[in-house]
């Protein structure tokens, strides 16, 4: 260990340069991980908060189910009778509105039955009730954009007026803050003709995007019920893929992260490979003085571990600092568990890169110092 630390001190310029590269790689991995988690939360946090085990869509909607699927009350009643579990309709659509104080906002309208298990708990104001047809409970994201409890929100191009009665926790869908409205109000938003008078008496279809199941079907399998009612049942986690942009974003960000994991061992391995070649005479001298191969291995691994671990720790601090710096201005989320897991992976792949140099370390020939190459 003394020799390892002595070499680190003697060649501190080279080791600091290598450590700086590890810091940047670790920080970049942590930042990408934070954006991956943040973008995911900003896309599906509202779906994740739904107290439902499965979601039922129409069978003709094979992608973007929340936008394309439409079910009716007859199908919902049949599913409820056959599945023997709590079911409730759910409508999902993205729209835009303006408050009476001039705040223009985009919102993801979640249409629910006020008395159902999907009814969100509120942190301020009142919740949705059957007696308030045109009420709305907004998430904290809309409050950040200037909407307040008591405001009147007018849906653009439709003229539908909604009264903000409550505030719930932060949730989003498709990078848009969520607002919960009664199902009948959602149907007006979804099916009304733009430009038509708000008081129009045109028939509004009694349809919705999906049917939420509190627990999996108790009487029959979901596949059997799907075949019977021409529907498609997905677990809530599988339904995340139906959110706009969720799959593409995760594939992109995870691909970047994987490439960084591949770069880290190559960079570390290349550095220690060059360093080992330059130290061949010293390694041969140590072997000639009686140092065992195991001691030389421990010597090399210790140097690599110090560089990689300290560099990764500094990179973790830098990634955390970036998270604090950007705050809530961008979708960035880096929980401690995610950060620790990511950094442990960086350390593991970085140390794996040093394995490329171990054969040269153990192959140091003590006869080199005795003139065997002359």
pLDDT per residue as tens digits for the range 104-143: 999 999 999 998 999 999 999 999 988 788 899 999 999 9
Average pLDDT over residues 207-217: 94
Q: Environment class of residue 296 by beta-carbon count within 10 Å: exposed (0-12), middle (13-18) or buried (19+)?
A: buried
Distance from C-alpha of 118 to C-alpha of 42, rounded to nearest angstrom: 20
Confidence of residue 15 (pLDDT cuts 50, 70, 90): confident
List, for residues 147-156, the tens digit of each pLDDT value.
999 999 999 9
How many helices (H) and strands (E) would you count in the chain? Answer: 12, 13
DSSP 201-261: ------EESEEEESS--SSS-HHHHHHHHTEEEEEHHHHGGGSTTHHHHHHHHHHHHHHHH
Residue with more model confidence, 265 or 355: 265
Q: What is the pLDDT of residues 213-241, one digit of tens each?
A: 999 987 788 899 999 999 999 999 999 99
> Using one digit for the tens of pLDDT, what is the confidence trace for 172-195?
999 999 999 999 999 999 998 876
Instruction: Report the percent of the chain where pLDDT is more than 90.
Output: 59
C-alpha count within 13 angstroms, C-beta hemisphere, residue 309 = 6
Q: Where are the beta strands (DSSP E) in 42-189?
A: 54-58, 71-72, 87-99, 104-112, 124-125, 135-139, 152-155, 161-168, 172-173, 176-182
Closest alpha carbon to 103 in 185, 212, 179, 184: 179
Helix, strand, coil % (nearest 5) of the chain? 55, 20, 30
Measured between alpha carbons, how far is 251 from 266 in angstroms, rounded to an integer? Answer: 23
Res 374: pLDDT: 46
Calculate mean pLDDT across residues 53-59: 95
* Residue 353 near residue 264 (C-beta atoms within 8 A): yes
Query: What pLDDT, on a 0 to 100 scale, did the predictor assign at position 221?
Result: 86
The better pLDDT of the pair 17, 9 is held by 17
């Amino acid at each position: 260990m003394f020799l390892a630390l002595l070499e680190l001190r003697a060649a501190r310029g080279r080791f600091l340069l290598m450590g700086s590269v590890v810091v940047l790689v670790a920080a970049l991995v942590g930042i990408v991980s934070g954006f991956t988690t943040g973008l995911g939360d900003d896309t599906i946090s509202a779906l994740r908060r739904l107290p439902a085990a499965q979601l039922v869509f129409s069978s003709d909607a094979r992608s973007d189910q929340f936008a394309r699927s439409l079910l009716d009350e007859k199908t919902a009643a049949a599913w409820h009778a056959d599945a023997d579990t709590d079911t409730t309709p759910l409508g999902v659509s993205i729209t835009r509105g303006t408050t009476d104080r001039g705040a223009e906002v985009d919102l993801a309208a979640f249409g629910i039955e006020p008395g159902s298990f999907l009814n969100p708990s509120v942190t301020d104001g009142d919740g949705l009730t059957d007696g308030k047809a045109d009420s709305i409970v907004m998430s904290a994201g809309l409050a950040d954009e200037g909407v307040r409890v008591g405001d009147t929100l007018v849906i653009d191009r439709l003229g539908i007026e909604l009264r903000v009665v409550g505030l719930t926790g932060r949730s989003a869908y498709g990078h848009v803050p969520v607002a919960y409205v009664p199902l009948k109000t959602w149907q007006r938003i979804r099916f009304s003709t733009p430009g038509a008078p708000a008081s129009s008496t045109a028939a509004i279809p009694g349809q919705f995007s999906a049917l939420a199941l509190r627990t999996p079907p108790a009487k029959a399998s979901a596949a059997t019920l799907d075949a019977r009612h021409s529907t498609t049942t997905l677990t809530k986690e599988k339904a995340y893929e139906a959110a706009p942009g969720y799959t593409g974003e995760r594939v992109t960000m995870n691909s970047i992260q994987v490439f960084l994991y591949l770069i880290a061992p190559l960079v570390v391995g290349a550095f220690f490979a060059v360093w080992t070649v330059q130290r061949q005479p010293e390694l041969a001298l140590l072997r000639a003085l009686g140092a065992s191969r195991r001691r030389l291995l421990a010597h090399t691994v210790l140097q690599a571990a110090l560089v990689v671990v300290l560099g990764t720790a500094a990179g973790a601090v830098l990634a955390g600092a970036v998270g604090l710096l950007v705050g809530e201005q961008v979708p960035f989320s880096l929980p401690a568990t995610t950060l620790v897991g990511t950094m442990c992976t960086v350390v593991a792949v970085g140390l794996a890169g040093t394995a490329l140099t171990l054969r040269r370390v153990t192959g140091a020939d003590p006869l080199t110092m005795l003139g065997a190459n002359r």
